Amino acid sequence: MSLQPSTLRLFSIINSAARARIRIAAELKKIPIINHTIDYPTTTGRTEPEVARYRRDNPNPLIPGLSVTYANQESFTITQSLPILEYFEEVYSGDVRLLPPVTNIYARSKVRELATTAAHDSPPRRDELPPDRELSTTITRHIASRLSTYEKIASRSVGTYSVGDELSLADVCLFAMVTDATQRNVGLERWKVIRNIMRRLEILPAFREAATRESSLRRLKFEGRRTKRLGESTAF
């Protein structure tokens, strides 16, 4: 059986750093993915059939989830963005490698450390907050803490990109984290290393394309919800 599947379906939500990480890696590696957005309504208000099937077939349908199907109809699902990115790296080697070679253990460990730092999206739940703290404030502090940690680690490994002079999973995860931070009005003034890496990433077509596509989808989502509140029907 070929390692590369016949169909990949990504189930995710818009405005998600996890989704952005996967989309950027897929763009870099030229991996064809069929995207399904979990929270988009149809014109009738019913759930999209593929989304309904995903929820039905997975006892714990975490998102993002990647549904992998082979030509012989064997299939399985991978959940969480980092395992999905590792799957891409193992199955789609191609011209773009996002992990350093196994002969460079130090660089591989730094890439994984930075990627995990950037991909740690979950702040405390609302019921875990002190009574006087707003959720939005806690999320902002959580992002700032991750940026500070990333800055310290990357300052010891940075070259052109986060780890040396080659793109890696760390850069993919950093770009998604900074995009999320920017949407929440968190500036990068305090993090010089990150600012310099981002300047180099932002000119690369795969990163630009993924960011543009996500921005367009977020705008459609907002306009659709506003239209729905006005009592109209919107197709997505």
Q: What rounded mean pLDDT belongs to the chain?
A: 81
Decide if 227 is inside a domain: no
Q: Which residues pair with 75 in a beta bridge?
A: 69
CATH code (residue 76): 3.40.30.10
User: 37 forms bridges with which residues in the sheet?
Assistant: 12
Phi-psi region of 94 (alpha: psi -120 to 50; beta: other; left: phi over 0): left
Return d(Cα 71, Cα 206) in angstroms, integer: 28
- Picking from 151, 137, 139, 154, the residue whose alpha carbon sits closest to that of residue 190 is 151
Residue with tokens 């929820």: 55
Give residue-wise pLDDT tens across range 165-203. Answer: 999 999 999 999 999 898 888 999 999 999 999 999 999
121 and 197 co-located in one domain: yes
pLDDT at position 214 is: 63
Both 89 and 109 in a single domain?
A: no
pLDDT of residue 133: 54
Range of the domain at 22: 7-95
Do 90 and 109 have their domain in common?
no
Residues 88 and 109 in one domain: no
Asked if residue 112 and residue 91 are part of one domain, the reply reads no
**What's the CATH code of the domain at 189?**
1.20.1050.10
pLDDT band at 44 (very low <50, low <70, confident <90, very high): very low
pLDDT of residue 6: 92
User: Is 157 a residue whose pLDDT tops 50?
Assistant: yes
Among 47-61, 64-78, 86-100, 186-200, name the one with the lowest average pLDDT. Answer: 47-61
CA distance 188 to 144: 9
Does residue 192 sit within a domain? yes
Is 122 strand, coil or helix? coil
| pLDDT tens figures, 100-132 | 999 999 999 999 999 999 998 655 444 444 555
